[in-house]
Amino acid sequence: MTTLSLDTTRDGELLRLATAGSVDDGKSTLVGRLLYDSKSVLADQLEAVESASRARGYGQADLALLTDGLRAEREQGITIDVAYRYFATGNRRFILADTPGHVQYTRNMVTGASTAHLAVILVDARHGVVTQTRRHTAVAALLRTPHVVLAVNKMDLVGFAEDRFAEIDDEFRRLAGSLGVPDVRSIPLSALRGDNVVDASTEMPWYTGPTFLEHLERVDLDEDLTALPARLPVQYVLPDGSLAGQLVAGQLRLGQQVLVTPGGRPAVVTALQRLGTPIENARAGMSVSVKLDGAGEVGRGDMIVAADRIPTTTRQVTATLCHVAERRLGAGARVLVQHQTRVVEGTVASIVDRLDLATLEHTPNSDPLVVNDIATVVLDLDEPIAADPYRLIRGTGSLLLIDPADGATLSAGLVGPAFR
């Protein structure tokens, strides 16, 4: 048996993953089984779960309670918020977001999967691919999640039948292919029993692939962000005049010709530091400080970019919005638009259409957005931003719409239309 450690400070690659699926497909049970079978549950946590399970009249520990942490969730027996869990193996560290399955909480998957390397989409082996499966797969594709795992759960309830698994796998792969999902791995399992979660199942000898945990440990995370054009949003100006921020894409090196946007002011990189140590080259993901020769005054909200591959600087942005607020958002509304470290005022100029995640059809509709709507909109900005299409660079292709009255987040935005 593979043993996980609760020590999340060790070295090793970090995998961010999000689980999604229909109600009662077993997402919380899968996560609970993963932690339980790998002995990653503290004694007091397990005791609390066993006590709560006995109070419900269960004959064994309900492992879903390990992730359904809110009182309202425990009382209703459903997940209503994104539950985050942190753990590690000897090979990799993990941040797992367990997202709700109900249709009305689709927005929570957008939150949980927005930074994920991998999405786990559960289906009940008895029901196969259903409408909510299509929605969650479409969200994963919309967010450009690099890897998807189809977890075919409750295989024990279909007699561990290979032909049933193959049927579901085939249908899902056709769906994922139509959405442009780049990598799919299908795994048959029973979260309740533990088959193929941490340990290989003796009930399904026909399946010769990795267990769920083995795949999480092995999946390739080498998304080559360094091959993208350099993008460094400026977060702070340090007392010595250095510009600090995280390089979200590409590389910077000493002597490199760059531009500072908006405005396209030319400059040369004269110094790079990471954690106070001089370096000659910075790669995507690093937090660094940079000194420039040229470009004049540079401040928070500006962005240092590769001189030969520049983003589009514009005051009008077509974006796909995932509306997350309970309040409506209509054409003509004034908003704040946060793009990396830059915040500008703007207006929702028009609402073009709605995207039906179940059918992937765009329907012309200019009505105000309501919670969970996904729509194409046009934003008119008071000041320009330098943005890339989300499909090309996730970091500089995403933005937030904020209510200027109280600072509440209204919508998460992806630069460019969806699936077009």
Q: Which pLDDT tens digit goes with each residue over 123-152? A: 999 999 998 899 889 889 988 999 999 999
pTM of the model: 0.81
d(CA 371, CA 365): 15
Name the β-bridge partners of 153: 124
Output the CA angle 52-56-59, nearest 5 degrees: 90
pLDDT at 70: 38
Q: Mind giving me the DSSP string for 267-285?
A: EEEEEEEETTEE-SEEETT
Low-confidence ranges of the chain (pLDDT < 70): 1-12, 37-82, 101-106, 222, 419-420
Q: pLDDT tens across 231-283, in order? A: 999 999 999 999 999 999 999 999 999 999 998 999 999 999 999 899 999 99
Contact 122, 26 (CB under 8 A): yes
Mention every residue, 6+ apart, whose C-beta is less than 8 A from residue 202: none
d(CA 252, CA 269): 8
d(CA 355, CA 322): 10
